[in-house]
Amino acid sequence: MAKTADSKTATEAAGTKTGTGKAPRARSAAETEKIRAALSERRDELRLEYDQTMSEIAELQRDRLTDSAGDDQADTGTKTFEREQEISLANSIQERISQVERALERLDDGTYGWCERCGNTIPVERLAAFPSATLCVTCKQLEERR
């Protein structure tokens, strides 16, 4: 009498692999915080720089009003030029501040810090240096080569 072997088919071993649960585009909260910290620091630096520039402008303005009687024309010209330089500096700092602020807003949306071209994350260091960066270094270099 042949015993019917009660053999279990070993399908379990070949069970379907479940995903690792790691989405490639998921950034950890810690990483987001790192970017936020870097951007906030950058904004504070820029604000300080902006305040300094503004007080220099005020000083140049004061000089112009108080000692202009004693200045020769060339000197006045230099001061006007200096003042214009400072004003354009102040404007560009302000523009950078708003770039950082926009970046911080986008960071909250979760749409910030991804390369528009390849979809990889843009390194924190790059974002801190160029808050408006929308491409990773590799893609940026490819763009520039064209």
Return the sign of the alpha-carbon dihedral for residues 83, 86, 92, 97. negative
139 near Zn ion, judged by CB under 5 A: yes
In the chain, alpha helices (H): 29-67, 73-109, 124-129, 137-145
Considering only residues 26, 48, 58, 118, which one is a binding residue for Zn ion as defined by CB under 5 A? 118
Residue 16: CB atoms within 10 Å: 4
Considering only residues 34, 64, 106, 117, which one is a binding residue for Zn ion as defined by CB under 5 A? 117
Structural contact between residues 136 and 120, judged by C-beta atoms closer than 8 angstroms: yes
Site string for Zn ion, 30-69 (x = CB under 5 A): ----------------------------------------
Kindly determine how many residues on this chain lie close enough to bind Zn ion according to the rule CB under 5 A.
5
Give the DSSP per-residue string, 72-86.
-HHHHHHHHHHHHHH
115 near Zn ion, judged by CB under 5 A: yes
127 near Zn ion, judged by CB under 5 A: no
79 near Zn ion, judged by CB under 5 A: no
89 near Zn ion, judged by CB under 5 A: no
Query: How far is Cα 140 from Cα 52, in angstroms, rounded to an integer?
Result: 33
Q: Measured from the CB atom, is 94 or 134 closer to Zn ion?
A: 134
Q: Which residues bind Zn ion (CB under 5 A)?
A: 115, 117-118, 136, 139
